[in-house]
Amino acid sequence: MTSIEEIAIQQVNSGLQNQRDNVRHLRTQSTVVATTSVLLAGFLHEYSKPQVGEWSAHLSPNDPGLNLSNLIGLALMIVSIVFALKSVLLRPRWLFVLSPDMILDDIDRLSDFTKEEKLDLVARALFSYFEKNEDELSRMQSSVFFSICAAVAQIPFWLI
């Protein structure tokens, strides 16, 4: 028969596995957004340049063609990359499992507890990991969101 504590541990472990998968997916999304942002900037910068024979009087053929709107687009591309890299490279202390070392280190301290009390402590420890991970995951999702917003926001500035 499964105790309520064991069910709680199973549920928290399931939640921690979902968090681990979410972190992997968000890191992949961040990488895709950063790459897309750079490709958009490169393509749209080339697209927005005057073609041969269309040079205006104030632009020489040697001018790279960066005007104020292109500089804003470039700044937004950099912002997009920074937010994407922030979510990929910054490594908060993710806690997805209760390590055996932690349990063995506490074995003396837990020797006076009953099985249910020990399971209760494990369930509570895992749930505290889950809550800490949720905070970090929320920050990571915000970074990916801002990276996507900056990548999309750069488009009109390259076309002006």
- 108-145 pLDDT, tens digit per residue, is 666 777 777 877 887 888 888 888 888 888 888 999 99
Q: What is the rounded distance in angstroms from the CA atom of residue 117 to the CA atom of residue 114?
A: 5
pTM for the full predicted model: 0.73
**Domain total for the chain?**
1
Q: How confident is the model over 146-156, as pLDDT tens digits?
A: 999 999 999 88
Instruction: Tell me the mean pLDDT in the region 5-16.
Output: 83
Alpha helices in the chain (DSSP H): 4-48, 68-89, 100-105, 115-159
* Mean pLDDT to the nearest integer, 53-78: 69
Contacts of 96 (CB under 8 A, 6+ apart): 16, 17, 19, 20, 129, 133
Residue 78: its pLDDT value, please? 93
Domain interval for residue 109: 4-159
The encoded tokens of residue 70 equal 């292109």
User: 27 φ, ψ to 5°?
Assistant: -65, -40
- State pLDDT tens for residues 70-121: 889 889 999 999 999 988 887 767 776 666 666 666 666 667 777 778 778 8
Task: Tell me what pLDDT residue 57 has.
Answer: 47
Average pLDDT over residues 30-49: 84
